[in-house]
Amino acid sequence: MGRALFPALVRAVLTAVAALALRRAGTDNGAIPGWALAGLGFGGVMLLGGQASIVRANLDHADWRDADSVTSWVVGTLVVAATVGVIGSLAAQRAPAQVPSAADDPALELPAGQRLAWLARTSIPWLQAVSAVTGLLAIAVVVGALAGLADPPVALAAPPFALACVLVLACSSVQARVTERGLDVSFGPLGWPSRRWVLEDIESARTENRTPAQVGGWGYRLSGLGTTVMLRGGECLVIRTAKGKDFAVSVDDAEHGAALLNSLSART
């Protein structure tokens, strides 16, 4: 009974997490962000493919030790799941490009001989909760397999859960810092990975109001608006690089960050 209930419990938890995510992701026009479509597509194929692999491997065998190899099925499932995830993400990323405001970019008067810096940090608690749930699921799958509550092949689900835990945690918080060296944007509780632009690589800085629906969801998004680190809808710090590309990060007090960047660039 335990071997049958454990996979069902895992699916129930994943369904609850998906329902919560879609509730948070819902927009007035009913659009579902690309990350939600990609995640649900990938996760759904992985669950179905994993279960099918285990059932097929154990057909006509009285003991799981005699089960057939599931390697080819697992590889095939990963390929199909990744393809479905990419298709779901691309299908949702159709936000129209916006023309930057014609208003003057913000600027500050910098006192002579003084060094100024600007720091802002944003986190998204429910995404941190999703990371915690996927991490606990990875542990539960391994413990369940070792305790005999599920067949050992079920433990193959642990690595995807662990990977999802790390990736989601890295996208759950962001920190932006403006100094005389330029703009630094770091991710996650450890500040890694990170991106840096020196002042010479920044053409201008401004603020824009953006929503998850416009950029295709939460996290690190690529859309018609350029690259956006979206952790909450509202004011974003947007830079136009020397290559003509836009990068935006959703942080509080973005106007002061943009003003300081423009002033520092004008002083160099």
pLDDT for residue 226: 92
pTM score above 0.75: no
What are the C-alpha distances in Å from 176 to residues 113, 179, 196? 24, 10, 10
Residue linked to tokens 């990938």:
42
pLDDT for residue 4: 46
Tens-digit pLDDT profile for residues 75-108 = 777 777 777 666 766 655 544 444 454 345 677 6
Q: DSSP string spanning 139-165?
A: HHHHHHHHTTSS-GGGGGGHHHHHHHH
Q: What is the mean pLDDT of residues 121-138?
A: 89
Between 186 and 44, residue with greater pLDDT:
186
Is residue 221 within 8 A of residue 34, CB to CB? The reply is yes
pLDDT for residue 19: 52
Tens-digit pLDDT profile for residues 153-178 = 667 788 888 998 998 888 889 999 99
Instruction: Classify residue 97 by its DSSP letter.
Output: P
Closest by CA position to 264, among listed 180, 186, 155, 194 = 180
Kindly give the interhelix angle for 125-146 and 2-25, rounded to the nearest 10 degrees. Answer: 170
Instruction: Report how far residue 120's alpha carbon sits from residue 186's, in angstroms, rounded to the nearest whole number.
Output: 11
Over 50: is that where the pLDDT of 114 sits?
yes
What residues contact residue 68 under an 8 Å CB cut-off, 6+ apart?
A: 56, 57, 58, 61
pLDDT for residue 116: 84
End-to-end CA distance of the chain: 71
The phi, psi pair for 232, rounded to 5°, reads: -165, 145
Instruction: Report how far residue 243's alpha carbon sits from residue 246's, in angstroms, rounded to the nearest whole number.
Output: 9
**Is the peptide bond preceding residue 193 cis, with omega within 30 degrees of 0?**
yes
Over 90: is that where the pLDDT of 148 sits?
no
Give the containing element (helix H, strand E) for 235. Answer: strand 234-241
Q: What's the half-sphere exposure (Cβ side, CA atoms, 13 Å) at 135?
A: 11
Between 208 and 76, residue with greater pLDDT:
208
Residue linked to tokens 């669950």:
47
C-alpha gyration radius of the chain: 23
Q: What is the mean pLDDT of residues 256-262?
A: 93
Over 90: is that where the pLDDT of 23 sits?
no
